[in-house]
């Protein structure tokens, strides 16, 4: 099982490299903040450990709740912030000929 | 307890594993969308759906069913904190927000590893294939958390942006010692040590390492640091995935690790610096000394100009190239810049923007700000594209950019930024530099551009200066 996971790990590394090499400079900030949101998936780890074991110590529970809070902030904040940024890029290429004067 | 993590996950749960596979498929598909501005919004939302799926799948795992209230509380608190932060943050404050989100992700990873350690009485009886990834997550997560907090503090200007730390080798020796302590604790735990203090010492040493590595790094190197810490958090998430035998975590974490690594390398090569040299203390001492000696030679040969003169110069130009930098972000001048450009375009002046890869405090920082101000995507030119055009540029307007325009990077082998690719602003027929004062940039290096005969300086707040130029243009 561990070896299979290791194989998945290695392949994912190359896959990530291939996918992300194509991102243009302009989108580097949203890319970073988007991938940032994706590593918030660790919240899943926190949920699992806290939800799976019946007899965790009080201190462990506190640690895990904090971990879930952190992970959730990472996920929710990351995706929202990326969405806000990308919304600003989206209109650009279509609405160019007569730049309207609107300022949000 | 004997942490039956691995076995519990394997136990007849193909359905949930399939959900995880769909989830990471959505991550990858979403990231592919991020390669173009048209598909990017959708891509990000697809990835978010993948995340939701991964979380739902986790609740469905066999054996789940304890501490529901606590889990719900954690999710609610995280959402309540995260949503307003993400909604209200200004685009100019984006780098520190990303640093903060990255940091809490790293913190979560370190905490999960700590909880695993405590509940298994020090990984007692666990195989190394579990212990090593978990320890890796603890170390790198802790580094990432504390390093990101420092990066946040520097960018938010709670902490000084200048390098802080011991001079030269002392800092590196301290960092090396901390690294050895961290690895020593990890080795002791892996070899069977179960004492609680070992894990605490490991977390503390890694935390100190994160603090001391980022503290001496100057503000100008922040794009590299933030993307490096992002890569670190991704890698530690992947390690957590190995420990918990969770494919969604492995794939997602590793992809983030790979993307962060690519970005970090891009940023570092855009500054002509190696990643190790930045981590080892970057511009620090040497740069400041060289800058100080340069300052004396030039004093007094700077030409100041007024908004009215600058407006006239630009109004009769054919091509104006705007060179934005971190100063534009600080002054929140992006909307004012856009209005000035519109005024120029009304007069038939061609306007372009020259974007250096490391302008600002995170990769692509300027693009985000200018996009916020509705600057057309096509007018943003990357360095290689715009550099040949400077020779036919009538006026180059430098707004809060410094080191990325410094010709010393090409001409002065003594300069700490020697060899860094720069925007060839000094090839333009005339240059107007908007700057608050003659203080050198974050790197503490004197900019020779300011003393060139074709350069004039417009001192003052960038937003106010640009606003005045726009008024003058409208009045012409």
CB contact under 8 A, B250 and A5: yes
Query: How many interchain CB pairs under 8 A, A with B?
Result: 401
Residues of A within 8 A of B249 (CB-CB) are: 41-42, 44-45
Min Cα–Cα distance to chain B from A32, Å: 7
Q: Would A19 be classed as within a structural domain?
A: no
- Asked if residues B46 and B29 have their Cβ atoms less than 8 Å apart, the reply is yes
> For the CA atoms of chain A, what is the radius of gyration?
20
Which of B78, B255, B256 is nearest residue A69 as measured by Cβ atoms?
A: B78
Q: Does B69 touch chain A (CB under 8 A)?
A: no
Number of domains in chain A: 1
Residue B302: the pLDDT is 82
Which 3-state string (H, E, C) describes chain B?
Answer: CCCCHHHHHHCCCHHHHHHHHHHHHHHHHHHHHCCCCCCHHHHHHHHHHHHHHHHHHHHHCCCCCCCHHHHHHHHHHHHHHHHHHHHHCCHHHHHHHHHHHHHHHHHHHHHHHHHHHHHCCCCCCCCHHHHHHHHHHHHHHHHHHHHHHHHHHHHCCCCCCCCCCCCCHHHHHHHHHHHHHHHHHHHHHHCCCCCHHHHHHHHHHHHHHHHHHHCCCCHHHHHHHHHHHHHHHHHHHHHHHHHHCCHHHHHHHHHHHHHHHHHHHHHHHHCCCCHHHHHCCCCHHHHHHHHHHHHHHHCCCCCECCHHHHHHHHHCCCEEEEEECHHHHHHCCHHHHHHHHHHHHHCCCEEEEEECCCCCCCCCHHHHHHHHCCCCHHHEEEHHHHHHHHHHCCEEEEECCCHHHCCHHHHCCCCCCCCCCCCCHHHCCEEEEEECCCCCCCCCCCCHHHHCCCEEEEECCHHHHHHHHHHHHHHC
- Which B residues, 76 through 95, put their C-beta within 8 Å of a C-beta on chain A? 77-79, 81-83, 85-87, 89, 91, 94
pLDDT tens digits, one per residue of B73-119? 999 999 999 999 999 998 888 888 999 999 999 999 999 999 999 99
Q: Would A96 be classed as within a structural domain?
A: no
Min Cα–Cα distance to chain B from A59, Å: 9
Residue B223: the pLDDT is 80
CA atoms of A4 and B58, how far apart (whole Å): 21
- Residue B439's contacts (CB-CB under 8 Å, 6 or more residues apart) are none
Select the residue from A34, A43, A44, A81 to test the B interface by mutation, using most B Cβ atoms within 10 A.
A44
The one catalytic residue in B12, B384, B403, B461 is B403
Q: Is B403 a catalytic residue?
A: yes
Residue B180: the pLDDT is 95
Q: Would A6 be classed as within a structural domain?
A: no
Q: Which residue of B has its CA nearest to A28?
A: B364
Q: Which among B33, B253, B88, B19 has a CA at the least distance from the CA of A43? A: B253
Q: Does A25 touch chain B (CB under 8 A)?
A: yes
Min Cα–Cα distance to chain A from B334, Å: 11
CB contact under 8 A, B41 and A83: yes
Q: Is B53 left (phi over 0), alpha (psi -120 to 50) or beta?
A: alpha
CB contact under 8 A, A8 and B61: no
The alpha carbon of residue B237 and the mean position of all alpha carbons in its chain are separated, in whole angstroms, by 19
CB contact under 8 A, B377 and A86: no
CA distances, A14 to each of A68, B73, B224, B262 (Å): 29, 37, 21, 11
Residues of A within 8 A of B38 (CB-CB) are: 90, 93
Residue A64 reports pLDDT greater than 50 = yes
Min Cα–Cα distance to chain A from B295, Å: 34
Min Cα–Cα distance to chain B from A7, Å: 10
Select the residue from A2, A6, A14, A36 to test the B interface by mutation, using most B Cβ atoms within 10 A.
A36
Domain membership of residue A31 as a residue range: 25-91
CB contact under 8 A, A64 and B40: no
Select the residue from A17, A70, A99 to test the B interface by mutation, using most B Cβ atoms within 10 A.
A70
Q: What is the mean pLDDT of each run of 10 residues along chain B (476 residues)?
A: 46 79 94 86 94 93 89 96 92 88 96 94 89 95 95 86 71 88 94 91 95 83 87 95 92 93 85 76 41 42 87 92 90 92 93 89 85 87 91 93 86 81 91 82 72 89 92 89
At A1, the pLDDT band (50, 70, 90 cuts) reads confident
Q: Would A29 be classed as within a structural domain?
A: yes
Q: Which among B428, B444, B446, B221 has a CA at the least distance from the CA of B322? A: B428
Q: Does B209 touch chain A (CB under 8 A)?
A: no
Q: What is the pTM of this model?
A: 0.83
Q: Would A59 be classed as within a structural domain?
A: yes
CB contact under 8 A, A28 and B364: yes
Q: Which residue of B has its CA nearest to A21?
A: B262
Residue B168: the pLDDT is 65
- Which A residues, 61 through 100, put their C-beta within 8 Å of a C-beta on chain B? 61, 63-93, 96, 99
- Asked if residues B383 and A99 have their Cβ atoms less than 8 Å apart, the reply is no
Long-range contacts of B46-50 (CB under 8 A, 24+ apart): B47/A34, B47/A37, B47/A38, B47/A79, B48/A37, B48/A79, B48/A83, B50/B22, B50/B23, B50/B24, B50/B25, B50/B26
Query: pLDDT averaged over chain A?
Result: 84
Select the residue from A5, A18, A38, A62 to test the B interface by mutation, using most B Cβ atoms within 10 A.
A38
Residues of B within 8 A of A1 (CB-CB) are: 6, 10, 245
pLDDT tens digits, one per residue of B119-130? 998 888 889 999
Q: Would A68 be classed as within a structural domain?
A: yes
Task: Count CB-CB contacts under 10 A for residue B289.
Answer: 12
- Which B residues, 285 through 314, put their C-beta within 8 Å of a C-beta on chain A? none
Q: Which residue of A has its CA nearest to B29?
A: A19
CB contact under 8 A, B263 and A31: yes
Q: In this prediction, what percent of chain B has a pLDDT beyond 70?
A: 91
Q: Would A50 be classed as within a structural domain?
A: yes
CA atoms of B449 and B433, how far apart (whole Å): 9
Residue A97: the pLDDT is 42
CB contact under 8 A, B378 and A37: no
């Amino acid at each position: 099982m561990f070896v299979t996971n290791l194989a998945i790990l290695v392949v994912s590394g190359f896959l990530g490299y291939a996918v992300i090499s194509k991102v243009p400079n302009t989108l580097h900030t949203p890319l970073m903040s988007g991938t940032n949101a994706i590593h918030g998936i660790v919240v899943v780890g926190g949920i699992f450990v806290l939800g799976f074991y019946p007899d965790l110590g009080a201190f462990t529970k506190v640690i895990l709740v904090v971990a879930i809070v952190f992970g959730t902030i990472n996920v929710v904040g990351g995706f929202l912030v990326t969405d806000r940024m990308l919304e600003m890029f989206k209109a650009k290429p279509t609405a160019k000929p007569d730049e309207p004067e609107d300022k949000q | 307890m004997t942490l039956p993590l691995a076995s519990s996950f394997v136990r007849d749960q193909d359905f949930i594993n399939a959900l995880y596979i769909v989830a990471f498929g959505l991550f990858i598909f979403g990231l592919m969308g991020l390669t173009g501005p048209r598909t990017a919004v959708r891509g990000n939302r697809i990835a978010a759906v993948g995340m939701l799926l991964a979380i739902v799948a986790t609740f469905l795992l066999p054996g789940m069913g304890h501490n529901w209230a606590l889990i719900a509380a954690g999710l609610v608190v995280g959402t309540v904190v995260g949503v307003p932060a993400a909604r209200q943050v200004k685009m100019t404050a984006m780098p520190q927000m990303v640093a903060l989100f990255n940091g809490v992700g790293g913190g979560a990873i370190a905490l999960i590893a700590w909880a695993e350690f405590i509940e298994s009485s020090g990984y007692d009886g666990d195989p190394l294939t579990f212990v090593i990834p978990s320890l890796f997550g603890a170390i790198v997560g802790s580094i990432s958390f504390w390093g990101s907090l420092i990066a946040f503090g520097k960018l938010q200007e709670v902490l000084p942006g200048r390098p802080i730390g011991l001079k030269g080798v002392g800092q590196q020796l301290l960092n090396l010692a901390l690294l050895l302590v961290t690895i020593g604790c990890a080795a002791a735990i892996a070899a069977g040590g179960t004492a609680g203090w070992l894990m605490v010492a490991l977390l503390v040493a890694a935390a100190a390492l994160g603090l001391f590595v980022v503290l001496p790094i100057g503000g100008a190197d922040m794009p590299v640091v933030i993307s490096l810490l992002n890569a670190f958090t991704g890698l530690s998430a992947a390690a957590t995935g190995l420990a918990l035998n969770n494919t969604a975590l492995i794939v997602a974490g590793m992809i983030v690790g790979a993307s962060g690594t690519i970005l970090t390398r891009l940023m570092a090569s855009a500054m002509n610096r190696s990643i190790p040299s930045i981590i080892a203390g970057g511009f620090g001492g040497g740069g400041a000394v060289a800058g100080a000696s340069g300052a004396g030679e030039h004093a007094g040969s700077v030409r100041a100009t007024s908004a009215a003169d600058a407006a006239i110069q630009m109004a009769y130009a054919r091509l104006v190239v705007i060179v934005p930098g971190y100063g534009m972000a600080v002054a929140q001048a992006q909307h004012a810049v856009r209005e000035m450009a519109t005024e120029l375009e009304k007069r038939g002046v061609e306007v372009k923007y020259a974007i250096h890869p490391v302008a600002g405090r995170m990769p692509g920082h300027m693009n985000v700000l200018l996009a916020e101000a509705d600057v057309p995507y096509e007018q943003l030119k990357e360095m290689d594209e715009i550099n040949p055009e400077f020779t036919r540029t009538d006026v180059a307007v430098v707004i809060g950019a410094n080191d990325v325009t410094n010709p010393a990077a090409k001409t002065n082998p003594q300069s700490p930024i020697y060899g860094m690719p720069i925007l060839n602003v000094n090839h333009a027929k005339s240059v107007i530099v908007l700057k608050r004062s003659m203080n050198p940039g974050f790197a503490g290096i004197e900019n020779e551009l300011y003393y060139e005969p074709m350069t004039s300086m417009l001192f003052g707040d960038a937003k106010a200066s640009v606003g005045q130029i726009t008024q003058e243009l409208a009045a012409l």
